[in-house]
Amino acid sequence: MAFLITLLILVVVIVIPNVKVVSQSECYIIERLGSYYTTWGNGLHFKIPFIDHISGKVSLKEKVKDFAPQPVITKDNVTMQIDTVVYFQITDAKLYTYGVENPISAIENLTATTLRNIIGELELDQTLTSRDIINSKMRSILDEATDPWGIKINRVEVKNILPPRDIQDAMEKQMRAERERREKILQAEGEKKSSILIAEGEKESSILKAEAAKQSQIRQAEGEAAAILQLNQAKADAIKMLKEAGADKSVLTLRSFETLEKVANGQATKIIVPSDLQNIATIGTTIEEIMKDKK
């Protein structure tokens, strides 16, 4: 009975604490007698008491490290503060555990020196407008340098670029002047377009007025032509009616007298009258001949 109790105590004290369950996205580094033995992935594992030892627990999740601003000097000797954010992930737990002492500190120092080297090749304006280039170069260099440590650099972002106060004031003045210049250009372009539209409107208005005057003259001329045609048609109809009615010379002579009467009522200052009435009859005969010609 005492043996069973002792055995149970040994199981509780020795065996159960050496049964380990490794969760997802983690791994354990196992050493046996002081040397690296294996890496445990997720699942149930048993550690030999007093022989095996868990050297470290490593998370395989992606990590984000925001490093403090670093003083850097550009190619044109401008000192500025730049802080970066590094996104990395442990891909080999063994290399991460045994590759470097304090990996986070190593990444921070490596980031600072790499940033200084890259910015030292750029001028101030290039530094402010080339964030993508800086990010890409830093990621490539850091990823290659940390590969022996079992670390994968996924992304590097330049978070803030802080030039000196006097440089910031000069940049603000420059930006303000540029905005004012653009405003004046836009205003001038607006006035130009407005003038062009007004001129085009006046041009179209003049064309429409000229076209309206032209149409008015055409219609007036057509009306006058139609009136003349109607008048000539009326005269022709009158002559035709006289002929159909069998008008003789006496009637024609009377029409001639009526014609002379209309002439006398006109604005003429001189009227030539035949010397004898026989000439009037001659006029009647002439009108009769005209009637025959019309036929």
Span 174-188, pLDDT tens digits = 788 888 888 889 888
Per cent of the chain over pLDDT 70 is 80
Task: Tell me the C-alpha distance between 201 and 188, whole Å.
Answer: 20
Report how far apart, in Å, the C-alpha atoms of 82 and of each of 4, 36, 60, 156, 292 are: 68, 40, 29, 13, 118
**Do both 150 and 94 map to the same domain?**
yes
Closest among 91, 71, 83, 89 to 157, alpha carbons compared: 83
Helix (H, G, I), strand (E, B) or coil at 59: strand
Q: In the predicted model, what is the mean pLDDT of residues 237-254?
A: 62
Structure tokens, 238: 């009158």
DSSP, res 156: E
**Do both 12 and 26 map to the same domain?**
yes
To which H or E segment does residue 280 belong? Answer: helix 277-294
Q: What phi, psi does 270 have (nearest 5°)?
A: -130, 140
Average pLDDT, the chain: 80
Q: Residue 31 pLDDT > 50, yes or no?
A: yes
pLDDT-derived band at 62, boundaries 50, 70, 90: very high
**Do both 204 and 139 map to the same domain?**
no
> Are the C-beta atoms of 181 and 122 separated by less than 8 Å?
no
**Do both 81 and 139 map to the same domain?**
yes
Task: Tell me the C-alpha distance between 168 and 154, whole Å.
Answer: 32
**Do both 96 and 24 map to the same domain?**
no
Task: Tell me the C-alpha distance between 145 and 89, whole Å.
Answer: 14
127 lies in which domain range? 63-163
0.75 surpassed by pTM: no
**Do both 144 and 86 map to the same domain?**
yes
End position of a domain, from candidates 142, 163, 184? 163
pLDDT digits (tens, 9 = 90+) for 205-222: 888 888 888 888 888 888
**Do both 31 and 45 map to the same domain?**
yes
pLDDT digits (tens, 9 = 90+) for 114-158: 999 999 888 888 888 888 899 999 999 999 999 999 999 999 999
What is the count of structural domains for the chain?
4
Query: Strand pairing of 43-46 and 63-66?
Result: unpaired
**Do both 82 and 42 map to the same domain?**
no
Q: What is the dihedral of CA 174, 175, 176, 178, to 10 degrees?
A: 90
End position of a domain, from candidates 59, 85, 103? 59
**Do both 251 and 240 map to the same domain?**
no
pLDDT-derived band at 277, boundaries 50, 70, 90: very low
Task: Tell me the C-alpha distance between 295 and 239, whole Å.
Answer: 10
**Do both 115 and 75 map to the same domain?**
yes
DSSP, res 149: G
**Do both 190 and 140 map to the same domain?**
no
Closest among 90, 89, 86 to 29, alpha carbons compared: 90
User: Which of 68-77, 159-168, 271-280: highest mean pLDDT?
Assistant: 68-77
End position of a domain, from candidates 42, 59, 76? 59
**Do both 251 and 221 map to the same domain?**
no
